[in-house]
Structure 1
């Protein structure tokens, strides 16, 4: 998911970020160094992690004549007569483009399209391994908004859906909005919606444990890039009270009338939040907060900040590889439930819990778009994968490898696709 330190960093008015213990940080660095080298060796050995596989074997001239010329002319004629039949006779129905311009890749920043390719390959194999969806990386050598939109539109005939990935804010908002308006396909910027779905699913289960209601929560969000803005919008749509939300970026708390570091998205948020126009940074935001959501940078939340939160507080610190506060430190400071973006702690909030099932449900209905109802259905379905008997402070979200996740999410999304009129009429009788 996209992380833009300059855009997303929640300002710490105390100045210094939280310091981890030397031994712990050293061990963490050693672990990551080992993973980096193992990954590098694998990519070198395999020359990438993705390949194209044929569904048919070409053993005879007859095989070749059916798969290619002259036989292939017949499905071409059928599609020419009825363009909708492309979903029956080609790979389109089960194929997704994973599109980036390399402007906001993981925690690496603006590294460009070539360096972004390994991440997009990884995303594509998650689609295939988890959901059986064929996905292909498209790394565009431009960061001009209009050029990105134009390129995706030109490529769209091949794909049943478009997954935008690692595109910097605020450009990502316009790119996604325009493509959703101009294409008759499901389009999502996963850094926005995939993250928001997983966060809300985890929150639904956390609230069952702490016995609090969404509309009563005082919420602090650190980071107003793609993920932070989408999470804010998702929470409000789900019933959170925006007047009880404080949002923080690299310049501090957002409030109506602030001039420094603002854009039209932040101004929209400022009008709805922080009615008392509290100024400062995270230190001023934390007292009596019920929920902290961090999608910013590591080490900016202190134990004292967590201690100032309300009873039975929830901390979701998702910066990677170093979260805003380490989970053990947040627990030590009194947080009842802690979630993170890391795989080596409980409650990992990982986007791979959402996007495979979301697209599988959308593609299965040949959906024209991803609707808010489909996203909300995905979040509730994901939360419900964790049964009442399994639910605990250290288990509010399924494991990323849990086999029941994709079928459950896909089924809920498909139902919502029909209910929200996003699904195309079945084409099975048209051929």
Structure 2
């Protein structure tokens, strides 16, 4: 149930999956493999030692192999998303995607396995035989009723967690929302009357879980295509008959009379407004059909303004999204080496989610909703998918329930320490970037794309628009429209500004002339610049309010683009423009400055960079620790060009700063906190540095690019800081995806920008 309002072209989806290395996952060694000794330890003869240890004690497999953090995502492709039975091979992109979500949200390694069989016995045997390889099994996209049989038989045969997410993931998130909806409307679970529309895997799982939570069995009426599931029906299989009740209601319309809750896992439009009129006061509506709900929230609210409504969509409040559940549930189960995921663990996850939604909402989550304050209430009964607290709260609750219910084979002695370990697994950069994209959807802006005739830029503009992040404004000649058509979109849906004939040219010239007429620039010179240079014209459009942010850089060097932009747009008062590059590694995120502008910054500029970089780090959810980097550490060895770094530290000492800083020091020391404590106990840093202020442009730029090229790190930026208006200059090598990210980040600063007036 993770359908969202994001749209994209088929070409973009295919390009995403095929670009570079095909697919979405790879396997990376976690131990060094550089020397002959490394290989001898990794394989023969060194590998014999853990082999013998595991043969003597099978539990040692969790200590000496990846088993304890490895989940198999398995399908036969008989019920792929909402697409039906398309076969095992066609399900592979979905299963790879599931593996990516496991890693992204809970640092669980997952491998997709597609089994080419619809024979239940063959499927069960194949999976059961793989038990030695994995710490858990996530079943996915298997049609009912086979999914029930497969899961039950695997649970009976295997001694590791087996979890069919299509059933239980939806059920857990739904149960969390139901707990909170009942709390808001003054209901007790044991008293509510529920109508479940749909009798597939998810519907039956939801029904079973809410009953386990306390909803009375005779208070739940389930409906399928033939009507209500009654005890007098003779066409029910064992899974439906388990939920048959005595009722006079023959259909959904009759069943809903007086009902408190509607759980829809059926088809679009199944719930009509007139049906809601017969429900109890303050009805609770879970319309979770995929991709379109049984009733849209606006229609539901129009019929019953007192209703609480949840769907599977991200463009409405209260999204029932499975990603809130399965990564974190497996995380907790794996960490205690659980032999199963039982009802107690599922109930614990549902309660933990419900409780989290009642807590004050973090600022970064509020930003993702357009800055609107989010708080527990009818439109916030389920936590947001990118709430950074999920990684700490849900696995801990699941692990505790596993221990309490006796299925944990490695109990956790110190839960506080475990929570700290969980927090460390989350890369804050990935979380904040995800929130930035959600914020853009909630508060879309007009972004000016200065190089509108470049195919890469056009693809980025299309993705920006179809992703719902804002309105792209393309600067270029009329051929831009033909290029848009060639890329498969309607040119009429895009605004194009031509600097040669736009009626805005005169305003642009007036603005720049007023700014520079006393600096020796002639009006005809400015006219030529506006007509011929897209950066000059686009920057003027930004200054005049025709857009909220600006993206450029793919057709010329960074320095040249910046010089053209600075002709029109001033620096932010009290600072200097500089570039921050984000290096998002597996276990840590580094900010490196200045990677773009100042060749030999002064001590004042270095101090200003540190202050702005620290503020930027806080926006990304990090507690800033700044290190001024040099080839020398506190004067050893002595050398030249370190005075500016030392003076920058002294300057910060005189200011009221709210972050840690230290230097000058080598990068190896800056990132090794234990070495700092051992050799330089006077260091003011309380952990490894996460902001590296480099002594010059060359070292900063070279270092960041080497990290990406040699370490395979994900490099974002450089992100331009210090301009009065939101401008981002992309590297010439930027992909369309990079451009979209920069556009989203730039638009996020639009509300705080103060537009200067010409002198």
TM over 0.5: yes
Give the equivalent residue in structure 1 for 2:228: 253
Give the equivalent residue in structure 1 for 2:19: 45
Q: Is the contact between residue 307 and residue 333 of structure 1 (CA under 8 Å) also seen in structure 2?
A: yes
- Alpha-carbon deviation of 1:40? 2.5
Q: Is the contact between residue 80 and residue 142 of structure 2 (CA under 8 Å) also seen in structure 1?
A: yes
- Alpha-carbon deviation of 1:36? 4.8
Give the equivalent residue in structure 2 for 1:316: 286
Aligned to 1:149, which of 124, 133, 152? 124
Aligned to 1:191, which of 162, 166, 174? 166
Q: Equivalent residue of 1:293, what SS?
A: strand
Matches within 5 A, 1:145-184: 145-184=120-159
1:405 aligns with 2:390: yes
- d(CA) in 2 for partners of 1:35, 1:209: 41
> TM-score, normalising length from structure 2?
0.51
Give the equivalent residue in structure 1 for 2:277: 307
Inter-CA distance 354–426: structure 2 relative to 1 (3 Å threshold)? closer
Inter-CA distance 212–427: structure 2 relative to 1 (3 Å threshold)? closer
Matches within 5 A, 1:8-407: 34=8, 36-46=10-20, 47-260=22-235, 262-270=236-244, 273=245, 275-279=246-250, 281-334=251-304, 335-389=306-360, 390-407=375-392
* RMSD (CA atoms): 1.9
Q: Is the contact between residue 216 and residue 241 of structure 1 (CA under 8 Å) also seen in structure 2?
A: yes
- Alpha-carbon deviation of 1:388? 4.9
Write the deviation string for residues 380-399 of structure 1: whole angstroms up to 9, x where unpaired. 01111113552011110011
- d(CA) in 2 for partners of 1:97, 1:310: 44
- Alpha-carbon deviation of 1:297? 1.3
Q: Equivalent residue of 1:230, what SS?
A: helix
> TM-score, normalising length from structure 1?
0.89
Give the equivalent residue in structure 2 for 1:424: 409
- Alpha-carbon deviation of 1:236? 1.1
- Alpha-carbon deviation of 1:257? 1.7
Give the equivalent residue in structure 1 for 2:702: none
Inter-CA distance 290–427: structure 2 relative to 1 (3 Å threshold)? closer
Inter-CA distance 216–321: structure 2 relative to 1 (3 Å threshold)? same
- d(CA) in 2 for partners of 1:388, 1:133: 26
Q: Is the contact between residue 374 and residue 416 of structure 1 (CA under 8 Å) also seen in structure 2?
A: yes
- d(CA) in 2 for partners of 1:387, 1:315: 19
Say which is worse superposed, 281-290 or 354-363, in terms of deviation. Answer: 281-290
- Larger relative contact order (Cα-Cα within 8 Å, sequence gap ≥ 6): 1
Bigger radius of gyration, 1 or 2? 2
- Alpha-carbon deviation of 1:69? 1.3
Q: Is the contact between residue 84 and residue 427 of structure 1 (CA under 8 Å) also seen in structure 2?
A: no
Q: Equivalent residue of 1:162, what SS?
A: strand
- Alpha-carbon deviation of 1:38? 3.1
- Alpha-carbon deviation of 1:254? 0.7
- d(CA) in 1 for partners of 2:262, 2:11: 34
Q: Is the contact between residue 220 and residue 247 of structure 1 (CA under 8 Å) also seen in structure 2?
A: yes
Unaligned runs of 5+ in 2: 361-374, 414-759
Q: Equivalent residue of 1:394, what SS?
A: coil
- Alpha-carbon deviation of 1:44? 1.8
- d(CA) in 2 for partners of 1:43, 1:164: 23
Question: Matched residue pairs, number?
Answer: 397
- Alpha-carbon deviation of 1:408? 0.5
- d(CA) in 1 for partners of 2:204, 2:220: 12
Unaligned runs of 5+ in 1: 4-27
Inter-CA distance 37–349: structure 2 relative to 1 (3 Å threshold)? farther
- Alpha-carbon deviation of 1:35? 5.7
- d(CA) in 2 for partners of 1:39, 1:405: 29
- d(CA) in 1 for partners of 2:274, 2:18: 45
Q: Is the contact between residue 194 and residue 262 of structure 2 (CA under 8 Å) also seen in structure 1?
A: yes
Q: Is the contact between residue 2 and residue 321 of structure 2 (CA under 8 Å) also seen in structure 1?
A: no
Q: Is the contact between residue 2 and residue 167 of structure 1 (CA under 8 Å) also seen in structure 2?
A: no
Moved over 4 A (4+): 425-428
Q: Equivalent residue of 1:269, what SS?
A: coil
- d(CA) in 2 for partners of 1:205, 1:330: 19
